[in-house]
Structure 1
Amino acid sequence: MEDRFRSFAEFWPFYLREHARAATRAVHVVGTWVALAVLVVGIVNGPWWLVLLAPVIGYGCAWVSHFFIERNRPATFTYPTWSLLGDLRLAWLAATGRLGAELRRHGLG
């Protein structure tokens, strides 16, 4: 199967449209930051199983928000790497106060 997107730059507007509802984005951002914190704690201090728990937290939050808030299919199933990069970029833009401008730039919000 040929990929629909040839680059992350092409994928990013699609990613944003798939996260159109503010509640979906909020759950993603919280899930991403909590997963990153758990991952770092697991690597630095242990116990080792925290490293395994981190993706469960991150993807769990994301998938729940897609199924129950956005009511669409998570992009992770089709574009796992770009979806992860999208989650990280979304969390970073939200944390730095630049998400609103990015959404407007893509005609969302």
Structure 2
Amino acid sequence: MTQSVQTSHDRFASFADFYPYYLSEHRTPMCRRLHFIGTTLVLTVLVLAIALQNLWLLFAIPVVGYGFAWVGHFFFDRNRPATFSHPFYSLLGDFVLFRDMLVGRIRF
């Protein structure tokens, strides 16, 4: 009998199913703020890399993005980032959270 390996998307049928879980992992305002700062820096570095035509800047994207987010998880929410178990949904969740904070759906 073969044992199947569970993929990161097996637990959630869609991103819409995942997002409430994602939000539950970002309970404290400081964790959400740090995610917002990290995502802002990711977008800024991306724009700079394109404007300056400097692809080396792209190496800074995971550092600034995950650096701020993981500080929020480890020191404020005291949980394990969803990136470790759901990398694609988690990345999408970062941008949806960013948008939801920008438009006021989720509080800073």
| Structure-2-length-normalised TM-score | 0.86
Alignment partners' CA distance in 2, 1:67 and 1:46? 35
Equivalent of residue 80 in structure 2, options 73, 79, 82:
73
Equivalent of residue 32 in structure 2, options 21, 25, 29:
25
- Deviation >3 Å, runs of 4+: none
Look up the SS of the partner of 2:13 in the other structure.
Answer: coil
Give 1:44 shift: 2.2
Q: Aligned runs of 1:50-69 on 2, under 5 Å?
A: 50-69=57-76
Larger radius of gyration: 2
Query: Do structure 1's residue 90 and structure 2's residue 108 form an aligned pair?
Result: no
Query: Which protein is richer in helix relative to its size?
Result: 1
Q: CA RMSD in A?
A: 1.2
Alignment partners' CA distance in 2, 1:6 and 1:45? 40
Q: Which runs of 5+ in 2 are unaligned?
A: 1-5
Give 1:45 shift: 1.1
Query: Do structure 1's residue 13 and structure 2's residue 34 form an aligned pair?
Result: no
| Structure-1-length-normalised TM-score | 0.86
Q: Which runs of 5+ in 1 are unaligned?
A: 101-109
Alignment partners' CA distance in 2, 1:40 and 1:19? 27
Alignment partners' CA distance in 2, 1:27 and 1:43? 24
Look up the SS of the partner of 1:99 in the other structure.
Answer: coil
